[in-house]
């Protein structure tokens, strides 16, 4: 990664440069005839974390998060197929994504007490993975991800914007980068970094690292309350929530609903669910893309929850 703005007068903080300059090893594992890409940081003898990105994202979204966890953990981040540097498929499904998560965990030799940390769509895939393989991981931290309360209306979001399949140069492509779902972000250097790592060359131009056919061919990704409830029935399994206090996708009503489901009940309120059972941390001044809005607060919250989930 070129140091595009690393100067004494740069407003970009030193911790960011130190993070993205921390080297990771890259690997692939084959899943249903596609190569699934993943990267690893740190000492594999330490407790392990597997990071799963959201829709249209990729493992580089964690580049400024993962290195800050290495004092205590070994960290792996993957690219779901159709996104990042993983292969594209003719069609995508939640069940295939489950197999990808399990394959990466096995290829990276992650122990069965490892923690899944998953943002947005990645959280849905993590929940489905645990329904298939409840003994494969020891904990799950959902990042602005869950299932909306039945009485909570869906937010009105604009449809995803159209884009040219191929841009003539990297600069014009990068200028077109937008977060999905749309939101402002004050940390422009993080948006710049994500945009730079989201592009790949193609046919003499540049295009984004995701399959445009992904949304139209995706199946088996319905969010079901019973999938979340089953997690609460796994003996000794630990679950926590980190979310943006201003997220339009994760209201307080949804927080209590998800807490209730994850406690192993089907009630629509979590008034009786203590925070020490299903801890939930709201990151102030953050929206859905929590770790872009407040990266240091997110890292602190994640570190604290990992300590909380560590064996005593």
pLDDT of residue 310: 85
Domains of the chain: 14-149+214-309 (3.40.50.1820)
pLDDT of residue 312: 56
Tens of pLDDT, residue by residue over 94-118, are 999 999 999 999 999 999 999 999 9
pLDDT of residue 42: 98
Query: Going by DSSP bridges, is the β-strand pair 92-93/218-219 parallel, antiparallel, or unpaired?
Result: parallel
Token pair 């409840």 is found at 134
Split at pLDDT 50, 70, 90, the class of 268 is very low
Tens of pLDDT, residue by residue over 156-197, are 766 655 455 789 999 999 998 999 899 999 999 999 999 999
CA 131 to chain centre: 18
Side-chain-side CA neighbours of 277 within 13 Å: the count stands at 17
What's the mean pLDDT when you consider all of the chain?
Answer: 91
pLDDT of residue 5: 63
- Please determine, for residue 31, whether its predicted confidence score (pLDDT) is greater than 50: yes
Structure tokens at 66: 């993962």
- Please determine, for residue 240, whether its predicted confidence score (pLDDT) is greater than 70: yes
Query: Going by DSSP bridges, is the β-strand pair 25-31/34-41 parallel, antiparallel, or unpaired?
Result: antiparallel
End-to-end CA distance of the chain: 39
Please name which of 200, 267, 177 lies closest in space to residue 228, comparing C-alpha atoms: 267
3-class SS of residue 73: coil
Neighbours of 146 (CB within 10 A): 25
Q: What residues have CB less than 8 Å from 175, skipping those under 6 apart?
A: none
Calpha distance 22→66 (Å, rounded): 9
Sign, Cα dihedral of 146, 152, 157, 160: positive
């Amino acid at each position: 990664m070129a140091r595009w703005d690393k100067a004494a007068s740069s407003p970009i903080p030193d911790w960011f440069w130190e993070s993205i300059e921390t080297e990771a090893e890259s690997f692939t594992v084959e899943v249903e005839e596609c190569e699934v890409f993943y990267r690893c940081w740190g000492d594999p003898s330490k407790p392990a974390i597997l990071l799963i990105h959201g829709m249209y994202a990729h493992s580089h979204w964690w580049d400024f998060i993962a290195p800050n966890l290495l004092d205590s953990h070994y960290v792996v981040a993957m690219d779901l197929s159709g996104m990042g540097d993983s292969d594209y498929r003719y069609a995508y499904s939640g069940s295939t994504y489950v197999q990808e998560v399990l394959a990466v965990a096995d290829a990276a030799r992650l122990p069965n007490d490892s923690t899944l940390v998953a943002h947005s769509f990645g959280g849905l895939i993590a929940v489905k993975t645990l329904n298939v393989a409840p003994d494969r991981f020891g904990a799950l931290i959902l990042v602005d991800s869950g299932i909306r309360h039945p009485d909570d209306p869906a937010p009105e979001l604009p449809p995803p914007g159209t884009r040219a399949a191929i841009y003539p140069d990297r600069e014009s492509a990068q200028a077109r980068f937008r977060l999905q779902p749309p939101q402002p972000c004050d940390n422009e250097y993080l948006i710049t970094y994500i945009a730079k790592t989201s592009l790949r060359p193609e046919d003499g131009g540049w295009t984004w690292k995701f399959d445009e056919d992904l949304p139209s061919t995706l199946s088996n990704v319905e969010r079901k309350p019973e999938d979340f409830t089953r997690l609460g029935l796994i003996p000794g399994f630990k679950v926590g929530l980190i979310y943006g206090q201003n997220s339009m996708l994760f209201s307080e009503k949804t927080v209590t609903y998800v807490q209730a489901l994850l406690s192993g009940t089907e009630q629509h309120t979590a008034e009786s669910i203590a925070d020490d059972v299903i801890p939930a941390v709201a990151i102030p001044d953050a929206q859905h893309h929590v770790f872009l809005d407040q990266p240091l607060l997110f890292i602190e919250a994640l570190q604290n929850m990992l300590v909380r989930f560590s064996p005593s």
